[in-house]
Structure 1
Amino acid sequence: MKIKSIILLGVLLLSGAVYVSAGTDNVAEEVAWVVGDQPIWKSEIEEAYQNMLYERVPIAGDPYCVIPEQLAIEKLYLHQADMDTVEIPDAMVFSQVEATLNNYILNLGSKEKVEQYFNKSLPAMRESLREMVRNRARVQEVQRNLTKNIKSTPADVRRFFEKIPTDSVPWVPLQVETQILTVAPAVPREAIEDVKARLRNFTEQVNKGESLFSTLAILYSEDPGSAQRGGELGFSGRGEFVPEFSAVAFNLNDPKKVSKIVETEYGFHIIQLIEKRGDRINVRHILLKPKVAEKDLTEAINRMDSLRHDISDGKFTFEEAVTFLSQDKNTRNNKGRMVNDNTGSTRFQMAELPQEVAKRVDGMEPGDISEPFIMTDPKTNHEVVAMVKLTERIPGHKANISDDFQLIKNMYESSRRQEILDTWLAKKIKDTYIRIEDGWRNCEFQNKGWIK
C-alpha cells in the first residue's frame, strides 16, 4: 500500500498538481516549476509575493514570472550549499527572525494585526521566516565563497573605468567632509531624582497590580521604538544590549517582578522579563530621560561661542579644541572628523548628515566654523550643543579616477562578482533538470536556458 502511495504521489507531481484531503474538501496545490528534484509550489510563489508587497520590494515585470525564477535560482544555490555543507548558526537565524517579527508588530500595531495581515499564526510565521532567513544566509555564503578570491589592482580599475561609455560614467552628488565638536551640559540632580521617583512609582503600581507594565510603557516610555509595543524589545542576545542593561536584564527570573532602576547612556530604565529561551531573552522596559535645563543649554551655547571666537583669533585650533573639550567619544580621537556609517569614509552626501548638521553646513565654505547650535545626538537621542567645521566641499561631478578611485574600484569588483555569479548560474541551469509547467512558461526570463 505504501509503494502504491509513493507511485501515486510521483504521478501527481509529474502532472503538476497534488490533491490533499482535508476532511470532506479536496484542496489543490499546484506545482509551477521543478528544479532538480525540488518542486516550486504555487503557494510558495503567493507567499513570496505577499512578503514582497509588504516590504515594498520593486518587482521588474510580471510577479508570476519574476518570483518563480528567483525561487529557482535560490534552489540552485541551496543545492550547492548542500554539496559544500554550508551551515548557518541557529543563534543568527533566531535573532533575525525575531527582529523581523518585532518589526512587523511595530509597523502593523499588534500581534493580532500581523496574523490577520499575513493570514497565518505567529508560530507558523516564525517557522516560515526561520527557513527563509536560513536559506537566504546559505545562498549569500555560497556567493561569498564563489567570489572571495577577487582582487583588484590600480591597473585593473583604470582599465575598467576606461571601458565605461562616457554617458554611463556615474554622477557623484555633492559631498562634504566635516568635523564636529560637541558638549553635553550636565543634567541637574533634581531632574535625575524626578525621573527615578517616577520609575519607582511605576514599579509600585505594577507590583500592587494597579497597572500593567506594558500600559505604562505605552503611555510614558521615551523609547519610541518599543513604547508602542508596550516596551517589548523582542528576543535578544546579551551582546545586543549595552552592558549595564544586559547585566540586569539577564539576571531577571520572575516575569512578575520589575528590575531595579538601571542607568545607561540612553537614560534610566526599569525592566520586566517576558520569557527566556536558552541564551536569549525577551523583556519589556520603560525608558525615561532626565532633561537638560534650558538655562544650561544657553550657558553651553555661550561658552561654545566664546570658544569659536578664540579659535578665530588663533589662540588654538579647532582640532585642539576637539581633543581637549569634545565629549563625542566617536569623533574626539579623530580630530572631530565625522565618519559615514554607510560607507566607512569621511565623505557625506548632504542627506546622510544629521539634519541639524546639514542645515549649518549647507551655506558654509571649506574652513568655516559654524555658530554653536543644539542638536540631538543620533546615538543616544540626548540634546547636546555642537559646532561644526566644513573641511571640504566636493561639488557634484562625473566620477573620475583621481577623485573617486574607491568608488570606481567598488564598481569594478562588483562587476567582477556579477560576472562570476552569472557564469556559475548559466552552467548550473544547463546541468540541472528543470521543468516549467504549462501556464508558467510564457515569460521573458532574466536568465536563458530554463525552458529545455
Structure 2
Amino acid sequence: MKKLFITLIGLLLLAPAAIAQNQPAQKGKKLIDQIVAVVATRPILESDLVDPENPEANKNISKKTKCQLLEMIVLQKMLVNKAELDTLPVQESEIDQQIDQKVGYFLRQLGSQEKLEQYYRKSLADFKADMRLPIKEQLMADEAKKKVVEDVKITPSEVKEFYNNIPKDSIPKIGTTWEIAHIVIEPAVNPDELTEARNKIKQLRDRVLKGENFSVLARIYSEDPGSAPKGGELGFFNRGSMQPEFEAAAFSLKKKGDISEIIKTSYGYHVIQLIEKKGEFVNARHILIMPKVSPVDLDKAARRLDSVSNLIRKDSLKFADAARKFSTDKTFVNGGTMINPQSLNTKFTANDLDPTMVEILNKLKPGEISQPIPMDTDERRKAFHVITVKSKSPPHVATLNTDYDAFQNMGLVKKKNDALDKWAREKVKITYIKVADEYKDCDFYKRWIQ
C-alpha cells in the first residue's frame, strides 16, 4: 500500500501535466455527471475520472485505475487548498500564458478557430474561460508542492544509504556513457552570399505579389524543412513562440493573404503570408532563404580548426583554453564541454546522440581529438567542429562510484516523495474529505479516512 501511495505522490511531484484536467477540451457531456468526492470545498466529478465523450471506452477503465486517478486528484486538491491558505502567489499573466499555449495546441491540431468551436460546441472565449480554473488550480498545486519540498536536500551519506538499500537485482544497467567537449568554428557569411540570398527572397516575394501561389513557391524554394512540405504553413502560434523579428512581422499583417516585407532573422531571410488571425494567435506560411557559406570559407574554417587541433595535440594549448579562445559555439564558456539537454548534466548515452556522433565517439579514446567534422548549427548553418572525449564509461551495472549523480537524483526524488507523503498523511487528518460510497473501497480511502 505504501509503495502505491509513494508512486502516486511521485507522479504528483514529477509529472503535474499528467494530473491537470483539461476539462474544457470536451464536447457536451454524454454521461450524467456526479460528484464523487469533495476536498474542503472543492468537488471532484465522475467526468474527471473518465471520458465523458466515449461511454464505450469507459467500460474498459478498471476500478483500480479510477481509484488511482481519484487519489491523485484528491492530493492535488489538498495542495490547492494549502496554496490558498498560505496565499502562495500565482500570477494572472502565468495563467494567461498557459491558456494561450493550450489553445494554440488545440488550434494547431484542429486547424482553425471555427473547427475548434464546432468540435467543442462552444465559443473560443467560453473555451478559454472554462480552462482558467483547472489551469489556475494546477499552478497553485505546483507552488504548494515546491513549498512542501523546498528544504529537502540529500547528503552524501544519505545517497550511500539509498544506494545500499536498492536490491541488487534492481540496480540499473548503464550503457556506454561519454563526457564530450568540442570546438566549433562557424565561418561568417560573406556579403556577396547575403546579397544573393536577399535577392532570391525578393524575387520570390515579387512573384507572389504578381499573383503566383505562395504555397507552391514555398514547397519548391523554401529552405525550412519543417514547413516547406506543407506549403510553408506554420500553424497557429502566439507571441513568444517565434524569433522576435519574425513574430512582429507576422502579427503586424492585417488580413488574410497579406504579404510581409522581407524579414531577417538568425536563420536567414523570410517573407510571410497571413493565413488567419484570431485574437492572440496567428496562422501564417513563410518562405525561408538561408544565406550560404561559400565552399572557400568553409574550407578556411576547417583548416583553421585543424591548426588549432594540432596545437592541442602538441600540448601547446589546452583543449578548454582553445575552446574559450576560438569556438563560436555557446559551449565556449564551459571550455567546450557539452551539456546534455535531456539530463542537464555532462553525461551522454548512445540514446542521446545521433548515430554518426556515436560512431565517431566509439573510435576515440579519452583525450584524443577528432579530425574536423562538418556540422549544422542550431540555426542550420554550416560549420566544422572537432570533438574530444573527456571521459568514457563502458556498459556496466551502475555503481555509486561511477554513477553518483544518477543515484543522487534518484535518492533526492525519493526523499522529496517521502516529504510529500508525510505532509499528505498529516493534512488528511485536518482536511474535510468526503468520498462517494462507490469509491470507499479504494485503497487511499481505507488508509486515510477509515
What range is the shorter-chain TM-score in?
0.7 to 0.9
User: Which deviations, in whole Å up to 9, do the C-alpha atoms of 1:394-414 show, x marking residues without a partner?
Assistant: 223344444333333323322
Who is 1:40 aligned against? 44
Who is 1:261 aligned against? 262
Q: Is 2:237 the counterpart of 1:234?
A: yes
User: Which deviations, in whole Å up to 9, do the C-alpha atoms of 1:374-421 show, x marking residues without a partner?
Assistant: 2222x2222322221111102233444443333333233222211121
User: Which deviations, in whole Å up to 9, do the C-alpha atoms of 1:207-263 show, x marking residues without a partner?
Assistant: 667656x786677554456665823562224xx6555556x5499374575444332
Partner SS for 2:410: helix
The Cα shift of 1:177 comes to: 0.8
Distance 1:242 1:118, change over 3 A: same
Q: 2:422, 2:361 → 1: CA distance? A: 46
Written as runs of structure 1 = structure 2, the 5 A alignment for 1:164-179 is: 164-179=166-181
Distance 1:193 1:362, change over 3 A: same
Who is 2:132 aligned against? 130
Who is 1:102 aligned against? 104
CA contact (8 A) 1:226 1:232 kept: no
The Cα shift of 1:109 comes to: 5.6
Gap regions ≥5 residues in structure 1:
1-25, 54-58
CA contact (8 A) 1:31 1:41 kept: yes
Partner SS for 2:388: strand
The one of 68, 71, 78 equivalent to 1:69 is 71
Distance 1:85 1:165, change over 3 A: same
Q: More displaced, 421-430 or 314-323? A: 314-323
Who is 1:382 aligned against? 381
User: Which deviations, in whole Å up to 9, do the C-alpha atoms of 1:322-368 show, x marking residues without a partner?
Assistant: 3333221x122322111223333222222223554333113321112
Letter in 1 for 2:349: Q
The Cα shift of 1:142 comes to: 0.3
Letter in 1 for 2:267: Y
Letter in 2 for 1:35: V
Who is 2:326 aligned against? 325
TM-score calculated relative to the size of structure 1: 0.74
Q: 1:224, 1:450 → 2: CA distance? A: 54
Who is 1:78 aligned against? 80
CA contact (8 A) 1:60 1:66 kept: no
Distance 1:358 1:123, change over 3 A: farther
Partner SS for 1:368: coil
Q: Is 2:392 the counterpart of 1:393?
A: yes
CA contact (8 A) 1:221 1:231 kept: no
Who is 1:56 aligned against? none
Written as runs of structure 1 = structure 2, the 5 A alignment for 1:235-250 is: 235-237=238-240, 242=243, 244-245=245-246, 248-249=248-249
CA contact (8 A) 1:185 1:300 kept: yes
Who is 1:12 aligned against? none
The Cα shift of 1:195 comes to: 3.1
Letter in 2 for 1:322: A
User: Which deviations, in whole Å up to 9, do the C-alpha atoms of 1:410-448 show, x marking residues without a partner?
Assistant: 2332222111211222233343343333544554x4574
Distance 1:120 1:297, change over 3 A: farther
Q: More displaced, 332-341 or 190-199? A: 190-199
Who is 1:423 aligned against? 422
Partner SS for 1:432: coil
Q: 2:189, 2:63 → 1: CA distance? A: 56
User: Which deviations, in whole Å up to 9, do the C-alpha atoms of 1:108-166 show, x marking residues without a partner?
Assistant: 66666666776766544433443333222111100111111223333333343333333
Distance 1:232 1:362, change over 3 A: same
Q: 1:174, 1:346 → 2: CA distance? A: 13
Partner SS for 1:366: coil
The Cα shift of 1:373 comes to: 2.0
The Cα shift of 1:307 comes to: 4.9
Q: 2:273, 2:416 → 1: CA distance? A: 47
Q: Is 2:194 the counterpart of 1:199?
A: no
CA contact (8 A) 1:217 1:231 kept: no
Who is 2:371 aligned against? 371
- Structural RMSD (CA): 4.0
Who is 1:410 aligned against? 409
Partner SS for 1:341: coil
Q: 1:86, 1:226 → 2: CA distance? A: 42
Q: Determine what percentage of the aligned residue pairs are the same residue.
A: 29
CA contact (8 A) 1:364 1:390 kept: yes
The Cα shift of 1:72 comes to: 2.3
Distance 1:217 1:436, change over 3 A: farther
User: Which deviations, in whole Å up to 9, do the C-alpha atoms of 1:250-291 show, x marking residues without a partner?
Assistant: 9937457544433222222345676697xx774745433223
Distance 1:48 1:63, change over 3 A: farther
Who is 1:6 aligned against? none
Partner SS for 2:44: strand
Q: 2:116, 2:219 → 1: CA distance? A: 19
Partner SS for 2:154: coil
Written as runs of structure 1 = structure 2, the 5 A alignment for 1:134-213 is: 134-187=136-189, 189-204=191-206
Letter in 2 for 1:236: R
Q: 2:310, 2:62 → 1: CA distance? A: 56
Q: More displaced, 353-362 or 70-79? A: 353-362
Letter in 2 for 1:66: Q
How many aligned residue pairs are there? 411
Q: 2:175, 2:119 → 1: CA distance? A: 40
The Cα shift of 1:178 comes to: 0.9
Q: More displaced, 122-131 or 73-82? A: 122-131
The Cα shift of 1:174 comes to: 2.4
Distance 1:123 1:291, change over 3 A: farther
Distance 1:270 1:250, change over 3 A: closer
Q: 1:393, 1:60 → 2: CA distance? A: 46
Partner SS for 1:435: strand
CA contact (8 A) 2:250 2:282 kept: no
Who is 1:252 aligned against? 252
TM-score calculated relative to the size of structure 2: 0.74
The Cα shift of 1:309 comes to: 4.7
